[in-house]
């Protein structure tokens, strides 16, 4: 364009040449500035080696400007393939020797190994006349485990008096299912009936017996890995919801002084972890849950009964996470469930379908939606009927939405502890 103008208007020839030379000089200067340093930007990724299933896990990218000049850059992160993130770019202008931190959230929906890939940077200098592409080797693997965040959150709710607002019920203990702990001096508020008159006469002051909740009882989480547990809600399968809840419940039981164990099954028995209350038991449960995979087969309740009969010798609380979709599947399982319930305290936990509830209670706009709503209502009533029939057979039952799974199982555990059922 400058050459055309110079040809038409010879008087501006000198100005055109000066502008052309200036642009060429600035371009060469920009290229020199952009490529003058071997490593102008230093990039590092900060992410935990173990991430939490179904939770938002923070990932930080630190970019430091090692060049002696301001740098404008665009950073393309090597997101895990499972994130399906294609458009996010982090951009900033960074002064010399300054660091910029970018943060994003990664919510994994499956357990296992996830790979973060290499990142690359498109860097520009002050005049924006040249750019440079820099590849950053940041490839690394992280492991996604059952959610420790949820485990810690519910532990705080149960043991730090935050139960009411979270949905965890404060249940009054019934009956006398406690063990003697010590004799202590009477303080105002102690029950009169707990006064120890012999100790009082010896010490010449009121002394009372102090009791603690009976401990060292066994609790097993039993997880069904059959294909009925592969339905999804909020990105997680029923199996993964159960695994997170089993981790939460096992931690609460151990903190309460009970022993926690784990059994998984489908058409064959998976892990069988005996109930213990040792310091390393929580780590063993977490590792066992991390490795559980479905076999996409029907669950064998007869095999489960035989396995529990052989491995669980003392009376225990059995919390069975499963999913009944039909009356036939429930009635086929009832004989074995009743036999388990004769020797142990069995709690069957299965799921309501959140999508069916939305469909059943939404206002239909045409005949097709009317039929859909009717079928959804029938399926919801079927789940309630299955729960009633299990209760009629003397089996403790928890019918719950997936998002309420941990709260409802903890409430049932605390209720049974309060009643002295275990």
Q: What is the pLDDT of residues 219-259, one digit of tens each?
A: 999 999 998 898 888 889 999 999 999 999 999 999 988 99
Arithmetic mean of pLDDT, 363-372: 71
Q: Rounded to an integer, what distance in angstroms lies between the CA atom of residue 325 and that of residue 231?
A: 11
- CA dihedral (410, 416, 419, 422) in degrees, to 10, reads -130
Q: Rounded to an integer, what distance in angstroms lies between the CA atom of residue 115 and that of residue 221?
A: 31
Taking the model in full, what pTM does it have? 0.78
Name the band, by pLDDT with cuts 50, 70 and 90, for residue 381.
confident
Which of 11-25, 37-51, 273-287, 317-331 bottoms out in mean pLDDT, i.e. has the lowest?
11-25
Q: What is the 3-state composition of the chain as percent helix, strand, coil, each rounded to the nearest 5?
A: 40, 30, 30
Query: Comparing C-alpha atoms, which of 64, 40, 46 is closest to residue 116?
Result: 46
Show me where the domains of the chain are located. Answer: 43-145, 148-173+214-419, 178-213
Which CATH superfamily does the domain covering 43-145 fall into? Immunoglobulins (2.60.40.10)
Sheet holding 259-265, edge to edge: 269-276, 259-265, 218-224, 316-321, 345-351, 396-400
Q: Select 148-173+214-419's CATH number: 3.40.50.410, 3.40.50.970, 3.50.50.60, 3.30.70.260.
A: 3.40.50.410
């Amino acid at each position: 364009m400058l050459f055309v103008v110079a040809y038409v208007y010879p008087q501006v020839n000198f100005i055109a040449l000066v502008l052309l030379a200036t642009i060429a000089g600035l371009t060469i200067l920009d290229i020199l500035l952009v490529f003058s340093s071997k490593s102008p930007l230093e990039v590092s990724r900060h992410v935990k080696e173990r991430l939490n299933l179904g939770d938002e896990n923070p990932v930080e990218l630190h970019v430091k400007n090692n060049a002696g000049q301001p740098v404008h850059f665009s950073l393309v992160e090597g997101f895990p393939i499972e994130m399906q993130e294609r458009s996010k770019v982090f951009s900033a202008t960074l002064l010399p020797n300054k660091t910029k931190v970018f943060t994003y959230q990664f919510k994994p929906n499956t357990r296992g190994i996830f790979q973060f890939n290499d990142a690359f940077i498109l860097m520009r200098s002050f005049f924006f006349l040249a750019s440079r592409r820099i590849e950053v080797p940041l490839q690394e693997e992280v492991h996604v485990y059952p959610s420790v965040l949820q485990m810690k959150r519910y532990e705080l709710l149960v043991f730090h008096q935050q139960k009411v607002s979270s949905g965890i019920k404060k249940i009054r203990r019934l009956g006398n299912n406690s063990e003697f702990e010590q004799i202590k001096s009477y303080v105002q508020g102690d029950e009169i009936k707990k006064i120890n008159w012999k100790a009082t006469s010896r010490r010449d002051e009121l002394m009372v017996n102090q009791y603690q909740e009976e401990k060292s009882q066994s609790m097993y989480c039993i997880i069904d890995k059959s294909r009925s547990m592969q339905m999804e809600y909020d990105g997680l399968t029923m199996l993964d919801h159960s695994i997170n809840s089993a981790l939460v419940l096992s931690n609460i039981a151990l903190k309460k002084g009970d022993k926690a164990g784990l059994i998984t099954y489908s058409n064959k028995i998976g892990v069988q972890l005996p109930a213990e209350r040792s310091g390393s038991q929580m780590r063993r449960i977490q590792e066992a849950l991390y490795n559980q995979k479905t076999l996409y087969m029907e669950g064998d309740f007869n095999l489960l009964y035989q396995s529990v009969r052989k491995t669980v010798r003392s009376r225990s609380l059995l919390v069975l996470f499963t999913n009944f979709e039909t009356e036939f599947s429930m009635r086929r399982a009832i004989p074995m469930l009743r036999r388990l319930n004769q020797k142990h305290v069995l709690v069957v936990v299965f799921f309501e379908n959140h999508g069916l509830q939305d469909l059943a209670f939404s206002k239909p706009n045409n005949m097709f939606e009317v039929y859909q709503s009717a079928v959804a209502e029938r399926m919801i009533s079927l789940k309630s009927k299955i729960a009633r029939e299990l209760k009629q057979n003397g089996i403790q039952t928890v019918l719950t939405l997936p998002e309420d799974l941990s709260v409802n199982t903890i409430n049932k555990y605390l209720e049974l502890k309060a009643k002295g059922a275990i």
